[in-house]
Structure 1
Amino acid sequence: MSRNGRRIAANPIPYWAQAGKTREVFEQAFRDFQEIGFTAVKADVPEGMGAAEYARWLAGFGLSPSIGLFSSPLDETVDVGELLEQARRFGAQQAELGLDRTMLSSMAVPARMRTPAVGADFDQGRLDRAIENAGRVCEVLLAEGVRPLHHSHVGGVFETEAEVTALLDGLGPDLIGFGPDTGHLRWAGADPLDLIRRYADRIGGVHLKDVYPDHLPATADGGDYRSVSGSGRLWAEPGRGVLDLDAVVAALPPDYDGDYMIEVDHPSVGSLYESHRISFEWATRALGEVAVS
C-alpha cells in the first residue's frame, strides 16, 4: 500500500542545506516536526542507511516517509549508464519504503546556477537530450514500481514554462506525471495555477511554496542561485508571499491522492522551528478539510 495520501508533509531542506545531511541534523529536524505536528517527511535516506532502518528511525518520531526526489542535471554532462543505475537503486529504495511515486528534477546546471530563473544559456540540443535522458530514467523508475512526476526547479534544464511543457508534452502521461513546485515555477516566471490546471490529470504530488515579490520578475543581473535563494527575501512561509495557494489547492483534481508537502528552502524568519510552525499552522487552516493526518 502506498504511503501517499493527502498528508501534510515537511521537507527538512533548510536544516541540511548548510549543515549537511548528517544524522544529527536530521534528528533535530524530526524532533521539531514531531513537536509541531507533522506526520510525514520527504523520504531522504542518508548514505549508509537502509530503507527499513530509515523507516524505523522516522517512526520513532511519529513520522512516515513522503514522496522523495530523484535529481540529476540530465544534460550532456551525465554518464547515462551511471544515471540509470542510480535511478534503479533509488526507485527500489523508494518502493521498499512503501512509496509508489517520486519527483524527478533537473538541477545544478552551472550556467543556470549563475543566472537563475531566466532560461540562461538555452540550447535546443541540450533540451532534447535532457528530455531523452529523462524518458530513460522514467522507464527505469516505472520498472521499479515508482511513478515519476516532473518537479520544476530553477537551475536545471527544465526551468522555464516552455521547457517544462516541452518535457511533459514530449514524454506524455504514460511515462511521466506532474509534481509542481509552486515557488520554483513562479520564480521562473510561470503561472503555477495555469500549469496545474493544464496538467491536473497528471498531478501526483505538490510542493506548496510561497515567494516574496522582491526578486520578481527574475533578471539576468539579479544574483546567482544561492545568493537569491538564501537572501531571506525569496522564499516565504505559505500565506505570507504573493502566491494564491488557496487557489492552487482548489485547482487540484477532486481525486488527488498525493501529499501536500510544505517547503521553505530558506526561512524568512530567524528560526527553523518557527518557520515550520508558521507553515504548519497555515497548512492545518488551509488544508484542514482536504488533508488527512
Structure 2
Amino acid sequence: MNRIAANPIPYWSRAGKTREVFEEAFRDLRDVGFTAVKADVPDDMSPAAYAEWIAGYGLAPSIGLFSSPFDETVELAREVERARRFAATQVALGLDRTMISSMALPARMAEPAVGAGFDADRLARAIDGCGTVCRALRAEGLRPLHHSHVGGVFETESEIVRLLDDLGPGVIGFGPDTGHLRWAGIDPAPFIRRYADRIGGIHLKDCFADFLPPASRTGMSYHEVQGTGRLWAEPGLGVVDLDAVLAAVPAGYDGDFMIEVDEPSVGSKRESHRISLEWARAALEPTP
C-alpha cells in the first residue's frame, strides 16, 4: 500500500536541521497521524541511529532528496562523491530511490518561475553533470528521480523535458512536485501522464492563485513570494487540480505520496500538517 509521508520543511527551512527542530516536527507528525517522514539524516548520526530515533515517534523513513546547482559553480567529482555518500546512507535506511533536483541559482531565486537568465550551454552542462551524478547514485543502488523545483537550472517545461528526454529512463526517473510545476506554468496532470512510466515518487503540493501570474510578483524574489503565505496551500485549498493529478498517477505506482507545504497558510505548522493529512486520507485511502 502506498504510504502518506510528510516533509517537515516548514520546521527547518528557517530554523535549520537541528535535532531540536526535528524533534518538534516528529512530535507533531506523530500526534497528527503521519507514519513516514522524508529521510534527512543529521551529519553526526548513523543511519541505524536515525532509524531508531524516528521509530520512537512511530515514523519510518521515506524518499529523500539529493540537490545540486548543477551549474558552473559545481566541481563534478566532488558532487559524485557526495552523491555516493548520500546513496550509502539512504540505502542503509532501506530506501531504493531518491529525488534529485537543482535549486538556488541566484538569477532564478531573484526572478522565480520564468526561466530567468537562460543559457543553452549551461543547460547542456547541467544535463551532462546530472547524468553523471545519476549514474553514480544508480551504481550505489539508488534510483534517481528528477524532482521539479523553481529556482534551479531545470525550472521551465522545456528545460525539464530536455533533461528527461536527453538522459532517458535508463538514467533518470520522474519524481514531480505538483506545486513547483504549477508555479512554473506547467499543468501537473498532463505532464505526469507524459512521464507516467518513469514516476517513482511524488510531492503533493498545492498553490494559491495570488502569485502564479508573473506580473503579480514583479520585483519579488522566491523567498519574498513564499513569505507572503499566499503561494503554497495545504492540499485541497489551492488551485492545483489534485484529483486530476491522482488520476494521472498510474495504477501500478509503488512509491509514497509525500505531502509538502513549505510555508503554511494557517496559524501553525502542526495544523497545516493536520489539514494536509486529513485531505490525503480522504483522497488516497480506500473507503471501507
Please list, as runs of the form range in 1=range in 2, the aligned pairs for 1:1-40 lying within 5 A after superposition: 6-40=2-36
Aligned equivalents of 1:132, 1:247: Cα separation in 2: 33
Partner in structure 1 of residue 246 of structure 2: 249
Match of 2:286 in 1: 289
SS at 2:220 equivalent: coil
Matched, 1:236 2:220: no
Matched-pair contact (CA < 8 Å) for 1:187–1:218: no
1:271 maps to what in 2?
268
Matches of 2:245 and 2:253, distance apart in 1 = 12
1:188 to 184, 192, 195: 184
- In 2: Cα distance, 1:247 partner to 1:257 partner: 18
When normalised by structure 1's length, the TM-score is 0.96
2:144 corresponds to which letter in structure 1? P
Partner of 1:72: 68
Give 1:102's aligned residue: 98
SS in structure 2 at match of 1:128: helix
2:91, 2:141 within 8 Å by CA — same for their partners in 1? yes
Give the counterpart of 2:168 among 165, 172, 194: 172
Deviation, structure 1 residue 250: 1.4
Q: Which runs of 5+ in 2 are unaligned?
A: none
Offset at residue 49 of structure 1 (A):
0.9
Question: What are the equivalent positions in structure 2 for 1:45-64 lying under 5 Å apart?
Answer: 45-64=41-60
The alignment's TM-score, normalised by the length of structure 2, stands at 0.98
CA apart distance, 1:18: 1.0
Q: Is the 8 A contact 1:208 1:261 kept in 2?
A: yes
Aligned partners of 1:188 and 1:218 also within 8 Å: no
The answer to whether the 8 Å contact 1:215/1:222 transfers is no
Instruction: Show CA shifts across 1:205-236 (max 9, x none).
Output: 00000000000123472510111112100000
Q: What per-residue deviation string (whole Å, max 9, x for no partner) do you get for residues 234-271 of structure 1?
A: 00000000011111111101100000000000000110
For residues 289 and 89 of structure 1, what CA distance do their matches in structure 2 show? 38
Equivalent pairs counted in the alignment come to: 286
1:280 maps to 2:280 = no
Identity %: 69
Stretches (4+) displaced over 2 A: none
Matched residue type, 2:202: V
Structure 1 spans left out of the alignment, 5+ residues: none
Contact 2:190 2:248 in 1 (8 A): no
Looking at structure 1, the residues matched to 214 and 66 of structure 2 have their Cα atoms a distance apart, in angstroms, of 26
Distance in 1 (CA, whole Å) between partners of 2:3 and 2:257 is 6
- Separation in 2, partners of 1:176, 1:222: 35
Q: What residue in structure 2 maps to residue 134 of structure 1?
A: 130
Correspondence 1:212 to 2:208: yes
Matches of 2:136 and 2:214, distance apart in 1: 35
Q: What is the Cα-based RMSD across aligned positions, in Å?
A: 1.0
The 2-side partners of 1:222 and 1:111 are apart by 12
Residue in 1 that maps onto 2:221: 224
Distance 1:47 1:67 in 2: 17
1:113-158 superposed Cα distances (whole Å, 9 cap, x missing partner): 1100000000000000000000000000000100000000000000
Q: Given that residues 15 and 272 in structure 1 are in contact (C-alpha distance below 8 angstroms), is that contact kept between their aligned partners in structure 2?
A: yes
2:37 aligns with one of 19, 36, 41 = 41
